[in-house]
Structure formats: structure tokens, C-alpha cells
Amino acid sequence: MYDDDYGVGVALAWLVFLPFFLLFLVAAYVIGSWFLMKIFDKAGVQGRWRAWVPVYNTLIFVKLGDLNPWWLLILWGGAVVLGWVPVLGWLIGMAAFVYTLLAAWRVGLKLQKEAVWLILYFFLAIVWLGINAFDRSRWNTAIPAAPWAGNFLADNTVWAGVPSQVPAGGYPANPATSPAGQPPAGYQPPAGYQPPAGYTPPAPPAPPVTQPPAATTPPVTPPPAAPSAPAAEPPATEPPATEPPAEEPKQ
């Protein structure tokens, strides 16, 4: 009797709360799709209907984050098929979430958001989407390439209506690889580059200060000496006359 009453209570609870739960899921999906639509508008995605198609809208979001969308679809499929396997199903689902987290990091960079914003996405993704959807940030692809740009995670797919995320002229140099954290000499950002809000470009290095040479005073040349008078010749002196010796008287 007790078991029957408990089962009936659980069933009634489900009947009462299930409509509210479904309503919450529908509201969350509608709001999330609306926010994605606004972000897609900033990114130049053609066709707002793309933001309202389940699964497909998240694949586009991952593609805008420079990641191959097919890998996310594979991870989702693996989580569904292997979800009954202890630990393994949970790990695959967590890998899918980390994949979207990486995409959100790249999308945030293109909307002038620092990496610390991922904390908000981790706990409240819907709030993160709302802020990026309605703030004044503009879409900017002129950022350094993703760390995975050269491996199998990179997005190399071409979908109609979704613009390529490679900036015109290629990705700019990564400032972290430049001396003193500065771009290489002579680097010019691609056309249409919008710096992040509040960004102040570094002042160009000041040219080395060279001290002007000290004024040198011309050497003082003494006036030419007056010509010296010719040396006076000493007066000629005659030797004293010597008297001849006196002759002795002869004996």
C-alpha cells in the first residue's frame, strides 16, 4: 500500500512539474536562439532563420569560433550512443562542452572580449550570449590565428551564407611572438580593423636622443711675433800691441 502511494505521488509530481519544465526549456531555447541571431547578424551570417534551427545554429556558432563543426557533431553522436557506458559517456559529453567553450573564446575575441569572459560562459552561457548580442561591440576577424589553425581542429569547411573567418590578407602576426610584445616593423592591420574598446595603441618608440656636439672654441692663435732686431756684432778689438823685449847691454 505504501509503495503504491509513493508511486502515485511521484507520477502526480511529474504531471505537475513537467509542463513547467517543458515551458522553461522552450523559453530558454527561444531566448538563446534570439541571442544567437543577433550575434550572427554581427558576424555577417546570411539568413536569420539559421539561428532558429536546433543543432545547426550551434554548429554555425562553432564555425564562427574557427573550429571544425563536424567534430562537435561527432562528439554529440558519441555522447548519445555511448552515454550508457560509465564514465566514457560523461567524458565525451564534457569534451563536447569544452569544444563549444573554445569556440566561445574565439567568438569573444572577435567581439572585443577578453578571455576572462569565458568564466561567465562556463556558468551562465545564456547571459554571455545576451551581452554579446546587444552590446556595442562589432565583429572583427583581424585577430591572430587560433592555436589550432594548423591541425585537424581548424575550420576548413565552406557553408553558404556563413562568411569565411580568415581576414583579408591573412591573419595578423601574433604580438606575443614579436619583440617586446609589439607587431613586427612595418605591419599594417587589414582594412576594416576595429581595435577593441578602450584599446590605446602603444606609442611609437622615441628616436634616440643625440646630444649636439659641444661648441668648440677656435684655438687662440697668438699674434705673430715682431721680427727681432739683428744681433749687434761685437766691436772689433785689436790685440794689444806688445813691445819688443829690451836688448841687454853688451859686456
More confident residue, 212 or 1: 212
More confident residue, 61 or 85: 61
Rounded to 10 deg, the angle between the 56-64 and 69-81 helix axes is 130
Q: What is the pLDDT of residue 153?
A: 95
Q: What is the pLDDT of residue 100?
A: 97
Residue 225 phi, psi dihedral angles, 5° rounding: -70, 145
More confident residue, 183 or 168: 168
The answer to whether residue 188 is domain-embedded is no
DSSP notation for 29-74: HHHHHHHHHHHHHHHT-S-GGGGGSTTHHHHHHHHHTTB-HHHHHH
Map residue 166 onto helix, strand or coil: coil
**Cβ burial, residue 1 (10 Å; 0-12/13-18/19+):** exposed
Q: Please enumerate in sequence order all residues whose Cβ is within 8 A of that of 131, keeping only pairs 6 or more positions apart, or say none.
A: 120
pLDDT, the chain, mean: 81
Q: Decide: 82 and 89 in contact? Cβ < 8 Å.
A: yes
The answer to whether residue 245 is domain-embedded is no
Which range of residues forms the domain containing residue 63?
Answer: 2-165
Q: In terms of C-beta distances under 8 Å and separation of at least 24 residues, what long-range contacts does 113-119 make, across chains too?
A: 113/137
* Whole-number Å distance between alpha carbons of 100 and 106: 10
The answer to whether residue 186 is domain-embedded is no
The answer to whether residue 211 is domain-embedded is no
The answer to whether residue 203 is domain-embedded is no
Map residue 95 onto helix, strand or coil: helix
Q: Decide: 52 and 30 in contact? Cβ < 8 Å.
A: no
The answer to whether residue 108 is domain-embedded is yes
The answer to whether residue 176 is domain-embedded is no
29-79 pLDDT per residue, tens: 999 999 999 999 999 999 999 999 999 999 999 999 999 999 999 999 999
Q: Containing H/E element for 6?
A: helix 2-43
Q: How many structural domains comprise the chain?
A: 1
134-180 pLDDT per residue, tens: 999 999 999 999 999 989 999 999 999 999 999 877 888 765 554 44
What pTM did the predictor assign?
A: 0.67
Residue 18 phi, psi dihedral angles, 5° rounding: -60, -45
Give percent above pLDDT 90 in the chain.
53
- Dihedral sign, CA of 68, 71, 77, 79? negative
The answer to whether residue 199 is domain-embedded is no
